[in-house]
Amino acid sequence: MLDNPRSPRVRAVAKLAKRDARTELGLFLLEGPQAVSEALTFRPELVVELYATPTALERYTDIAESAVAAGVEVEFVSEEVLDAMADTVTPQGFVAVCHQFPTSVKKIFNAEPKLVVILEEVRDPGNAGTIIRAADAAGADAVILCGRSVDLYNPKVIRSSTGSIFHLPVAIAASLEDVRDRVRSSGLQLLAADIKGDDLLAARNEGVLAAPTAWLFGNEARGLSDEDLAKADRAISVPIYGHAESMNLATAASVCLYESAFAQRS
């Protein structure tokens, strides 16, 4: 059992909470039974190291079985070591180190997608992870992070996605301009979510949402710039019927994605 929280190995894992270390090594941190279970089930080849407390492995026998089936060795660690490795206060008995695995924008559009999510300068990791999760739930084909959006492998993005990062392609793009060109050449419409846009209900009634669509979501505080909005075919707003000042980005994105999912499946 690994029981020294100050050992070089433990420190090496803990460093993956920092972006510089993740970028240099091409690795990222995975925490908790849910995320570890999803990785072992859907992308076991990505798991480099898996650490668990004896108590956690005894409780989650399905994870133990999945690890054996995938040929992934589990190393026992003490609670103190797990706490030192993890980014969270309560890692729930599991920490894994995984290979990064972004896909290419070209590959996404070569697959002839019908519903794609594009994030432009989305900085909050909780929002980014939750949108990836919502995209997965709504049956979207892919998610693309553009420009100065949060690092895909930020530990909070990974946690907020609750394993959805292993279910659908996620790409990192240099610029929205490049992605827009791919969207248009692939025959998708680009809809920008913006408070000044047309009413979502009206767009649904017009049949706009049934077409193959790439949804564009902008920064939490500033939204999309006029320049970015000009790149879209149409701006759409989620109506607020009550007295709320605004809607959380991830919540608004979930509404938009499900409206498209409903329309495309009806």
Quick one: pLDDT at residue 12?
Answer: 96
Quick one: pLDDT at residue 36?
Answer: 96
Strands 27-31 and 94-99: antiparallel
Domains of the chain: 8-99 (3.30.1330.30), 105-265 (3.40.1280.10)
Quick one: pLDDT at residue 147?
Answer: 83
Mean pLDDT of all residues belonging to the chain:
95
CA 131-31-91 angle, 5° bins: 115
Quick one: pLDDT at residue 139?
Answer: 98
Query: How far apart are the C-alpha atoms of 227 and 219, rounded to whole Å?
Result: 14
Helix or strand (DSSP H, E) at 216? strand 213-217
Residue 174, judged by CB atoms within 10 A of its CB (0-12, 13-18, 19+), counts as exposed
Query: How far apart are the C-alpha atoms of 152 and 103, rounded to whole Å?
Result: 12
Region 8-34: mean pLDDT is 96
Place of tokens 């660690």: 77
Quick one: which of 119, 227, 112 has its CA closest to 173?
119
Residues contacting 199, CB < 8 A, separation 6+: 236, 237, 239
Quick one: pLDDT at residue 148?
Answer: 87
Quick one: pLDDT at residue 181?
Answer: 93
For residue range 54-105, what is the model confidence (pLDDT) as tens digits? 999 999 999 999 999 999 999 999 999 999 999 988 889 999 999 999 899 9
DSSP label at residue 206: T
Task: State yes or no: pLDDT of 246 exceeds 90.
Answer: no
Quick one: pLDDT at residue 3?
Answer: 94
Quick one: pLDDT at residue 91?
Answer: 80
Query: How far apart are the C-alpha atoms of 25 and 167, rounded to whole Å?
Result: 23
Sheet holding 27-31, edge to edge: 27-31, 94-99, 47-52, 74-76
Quick one: pLDDT at residue 258?
Answer: 98
Structure confidence at residue 166 as a pLDDT band (50, 70, 90): very high
Helix or strand (DSSP H, E) at 99? strand 94-99
Quick one: pLDDT at residue 152?
Answer: 97
User: Residue 40 in 3-state DSSP?
Assistant: helix
Quick one: pLDDT at residue 183?
Answer: 96
Quick one: pLDDT at residue 14?
Answer: 96
Structure confidence at residue 19 as a pLDDT band (50, 70, 90): very high
Quick one: pLDDT at residue 90?
Answer: 81
Instruction: Judge contact between 213 and 116, C-beta under 8 A.
Output: yes
Q: Alpha-carbon dihedral of residues 37, 43, 47, 51, nearest 10 degrees?
A: 0
% of the chain residues with pLDDT over 90: 93
Query: How far apart are the C-alpha atoms of 95 and 49, rounded to whole Å?
Result: 8
Task: State yes or no: pLDDT of 174 exceeds 90.
Answer: no
Token pair of 9 as six digits:
């190995």
